[in-house]
Amino acid sequence: MLLTTLLSLLSFPSFSQFGKKASNRDVKDTLLLQERSPSFKPKMGRLVDSISIEAVDKSFVIAKGETFKMDKLGIEQRAGWVNPSSNFSKVFNKSDGIPVKIIVSRKIPEYEETIVKEKNVLTGKEVDKPVKKLKGYKGRDDIFYGLLEFNKVHEICNNDPATRAYFISIPPKYLDAARGGNISVVYEYYNCTPVRKKGANNYTTWVLWISDIEFTK
């Protein structure tokens, strides 16, 4: 399912989230971990943005644009969350996610112009040709912190694009919303009616809470 965007800034400290708002449910529904029935574990994922994510304990690194295999990361895939509501950004302390660093490159390349000699193919004479040469980079990387979860999915719905593999994307405004100690959350979900369940629900496939201050438990 394609994600739609919701930005909901609440009272200080502010929170925001990226995902589709669930139907009107009590906040306690957000706190309910889904049943242990999900059993399918997506085996691969991709970090589609120009950022990198590394575990605070240095146990893994996901490079920008990297397609990664879950067995190489060594991360336990969790049961996940049901019907994340507009309060989802506030429940980070209920998560068993891995503490991570999110590195956003803000470096801009600088070039200098040099002159090289080049022979004119028509006249055979050497002429001056201006060439741009990389001088270096200016700026610095921005560092954010997060709690990253990868979730198992229901077997009956494992043919959905969101359940076959993890595709991690962080819109820039959700990084900006995480400054000053504020918390934002981005996630992907799929809609599914599991066997022996009445009606469909939204289930998360991955979740990432973000702040510019490290998460502690």
Query: For position 3, what pLDDT does the model report?
Result: 36
pTM score above 0.95? no
Instruction: Give the dihedral sign, CA 42/44/49/53.
Output: positive
- Kindly tell me if the per-residue pLDDT of 54 is higher than 90: yes
Residue 86 makes CB contacts below 8 A (sequence gap 6+) with 6, 8, 17, 21
Query: For position 118, what pLDDT does the model report?
Result: 82
Cα gap 209→186, rounded to integer Å:
7
pLDDT digits (tens, 9 = 90+) for 113-164: 888 888 877 787 888 888 888 777 777 788 999 999 999 998 888 887 778 8
pLDDT digits (tens, 9 = 90+) for 70-107: 999 988 998 889 888 888 988 898 898 999 999 998 77
CA 78 to chain centre: 17
pLDDT digits (tens, 9 = 90+) for 154-187: 888 888 777 889 999 999 999 999 999 999 999 9
Query: For position 131, what pLDDT does the model report?
Result: 81
Query: For position 177, what pLDDT does the model report?
Result: 94
Q: Please, which pLDDT band fits residue 194 given cuts at 50, 70 and 90? A: confident
What is the DSSP code string of 56-107? TTSS-EE-TT-EEEHHHHTPPPB--BBS--TTGGGGGGG--PEEEEEEE---
| The token pair that represents 16 in the structure block | 């925001």
CA-wise closest residue to 202 among 21, 6, 7, 16: 21
Task: Indicate the DSSP class of residue 26.
Answer: -
pLDDT digits (tens, 9 = 90+) for 8-47: 322 233 445 554 333 323 333 333 444 446 788 999 999 9
Question: Where are the alpha helices (H) located in the chain, listed in sequence order?
Answer: 28-31, 70-73, 161-164, 172-176
